[in-house]
Chains A and B, each alone.
Chain A
């Protein structure tokens, strides 16, 4: 797994908080890797993507960011489940990214 993560980091996809104990952690990071790879494919060529998982009391906080020379997006969400927090943050990022893409057409 560390080889996969190293490869992703070399592409500009970062994961922070993997040391935090979470329920179904293996499944969570598997989903996160797949979704962030998909997201990375959709950001500008010089873009990077970062996911940060933290504890927020009894809940989990996900900070998700996209950075490139053309756009910077930072979204976060807090939920009892890291899966839900991630899904909500990711949806917000896609929403902003898609509006930006639409704006570039005009």
Chain B
């Protein structure tokens, strides 16, 4: 058994290998029709971007905890406000927003309603109103690229 395998078994090395310079992005979105758009945007960036997807609050939280526990927190979390199942993107922000380097909300809500929702919560994350297009997604993705490894 090599030292690296030994250290992995002792959980001293993350089991998920990270690529040098790789940016890690979590997209929390229950509308799967947006997935091809995001994939196209992220593939066209000059840096490697590892994307994880979640459609529910529970799934997103598990991914955030997993990444953090393995020493590789997300550079960017993009979350819709309304998700499948119980809980919302705002719950995710309230519980784990501090853990992400960048956190962006996307939703069809008018910005005035979003600001009203956020006035009841801490912090002021960025907000992009749907519908999303290539330019908006690219601008959001650039926020992840701004961070080092």
Contacts and interface: CB of A to CB of B under 8 A. Distances in A.
Q: Judge: A and B partners, yes or no.
A: yes
A23 interface: yes
B94 A24 contact: yes
B94 A81 contact: yes
A105 B11 CA distance: 14
Contacts of B123: 80
Q: For the complex, would chain B's binding face be called helix, strand, loop or mixed by DSSP majority?
A: helix
Nearest to B95: A83
Interface in B72-102: 91, 94-99
Contact of B99 (A84, A90, A98): A84
Nearest to A85: B98
Contacts of B96: 81, 83-84, 87
Contact of A80 (B10, B11, B98): B98
A101 B9 CA distance: 11
A91 interface: yes
Contact of A81 (B7, B11, B69, B95): B95
Given A80-B122, A84-B96, A84-B99, A101 B10 contact: yes
Interface in A52-86: 79-81, 83-84
15 contacts: A27-B95, A79-B98, A80-B123, A81-B94, A83-B61, A84-B98, A84-B99, A87-B65, A87-B69, A87-B96, A87-B99, A88-B68, A94-B11, A98-B12, A102-B12
Interface of A: 23-24, 27, 31, 79-81, 83-84, 87-88, 90-91, 94, 98-99, 101-102, 105
Interface of B: 7, 10-12, 61, 65, 68-69, 91, 94-99, 122-123
Given A83-B95, A102-B12, 13 more contacts: A23-B95, A24-B95, A27-B95, A80-B122, A81-B97, A83-B96, A84-B99, A87-B96, A94-B11, A98-B10, A98-B12, A101-B10, A102-B10
